[in-house]
Amino acid sequence: MLPFTRPTLDDEEFAAIKEVLQSGWLATGPKVAAFEAALADYIGGDVQLRVFNSGTSALEAVLLAYGIGPGDEVIVPAMSFVASANIIVRCGATPKFVDVDLVSRNIDATKVAAAITPNTKAIIPVHFAGRAVDMDPIYQLAKQHNLLVLEDAAQAIGTQYQGRQIGSSGNPVCFSFHPNKNMTTIEGGALAINDPILLKKIDGIRFHGIEKDEQGDIDVSAWGGKMNMPDVGAALGLVQLKKLDGFNQKRRALAQRYLQQLPTHDALVLPTDVEGHSWHMFCILLDWKKIGLNRNQALELLKQQSIAVGTHYPAIHLFSLYRQYGYKSGDFPHAERIGEQTLTLPLFPGMKEGDVDRVCSAIVSLLNQV
């Protein structure tokens, strides 16, 4: 079975984990410090890095540190992994959804501008599948309305925008290192930021609110959670980070082969390539009515050919939780179409060109059902 993704691990990763296990220091320690320094060096821009037990925790910590809470609204795309919205609810604030572009699946500034109200406190643009959002106009809007911009780059480690690494802006940018991401720490995430005041609050939120003075005495002046990364994950991350550019180069080559092999068809919408894309996923849309199949039938036909695919993602506003905020079908047509028609094709560095060709042949056979 060809999975839609698989982490790329070899003896170097296994040896790094074994070294930590044998050291006797398994929780946050020297490997975390080394990993944070290596990430900061990779991203550039004089940012500081903090690693977390998940990308979701990193996003949540920023909202909490910024004081987002009841009565506040946070703008977020209606099509993303649900964590992008769940963190807003977790803080007691209200998600304000906006639609996305059908091809890039990213939000743009015009939709954001239309959603701003006097209660808006933050914008969470999501760099979908490794393609950077056009950030300049969003930052201009944020400056005009005094809003926090929290970039959800869970799928965009190694992505570049205007020739610079995502995360190098100094504004809070969060990454994920889940096993399905372009590099992994098993579970884990990171925050890149250069705001020392916000960072001090985030440090407390990340680990029980504990503050230490120069003598090592501790105090707790505000609430903190348990969001730290263990050294085992950081050791894995140190090895994976060295390989990240190579992983992304292979992903780009595979994506280009998909784009070359898949046909132009009125029932098929393909992603497009742009400079700096890290190709976390390769997601297509299939118009089931035109093909004469439903998605479950298509998934079964692909399974019979030993091909597994994903469905990234259902429209967030149609989940039961978010219908309670008054959202309904028809509110965001592009997000809903993506939710209904999307297929995530296999894409990971361990794939071969022949794997891409086999998947393309299977997709063509679906199109030929017409």
As annotated, the active-site residues are 181
Cβ neighbours for 198, distance < 8 A, ≥ 6 positions apart:
62, 65, 66, 172
Q: Please give the C-alpha separations between residue 84 and each of 66, 74, 186, 215, 333, in angstroms, as whole numbers.
A: 16, 10, 20, 39, 19
The DSSP annotation for 78-146 comes to: SSS-THHHHHHHHTT-EEEEE---TTT----HHHHHHH--TTEEEE--B-GGGPPP--HHHHHHHHHHT
Backbone angles phi, psi at 274, to 5 degrees: -140, 160
Dihedral over alpha carbons 181, 126, 286, 365 (to 10 degrees): -20
Query: Are 142 and 149 spatial neighbours (Cβ–Cβ below 8 Å)?
Result: yes
Phi, psi of 77, rounded to the nearest 5 degrees: -70, 145
Strand 342-345: give its sheet, edge to edge. 268-269, 282-286, 342-345
Residue 238 main-chain phi, psi, to 5 deg: -60, -40
For 319, counting Cβ atoms within 10 Å of its Cβ (0-12 exposed, 13-18 middle, 19+ buried), the class is middle
49 SS3 class = strand
Residue with tokens 């037990």: 53
Kindly state the tokens that stand for 358. Answer: 């086999």
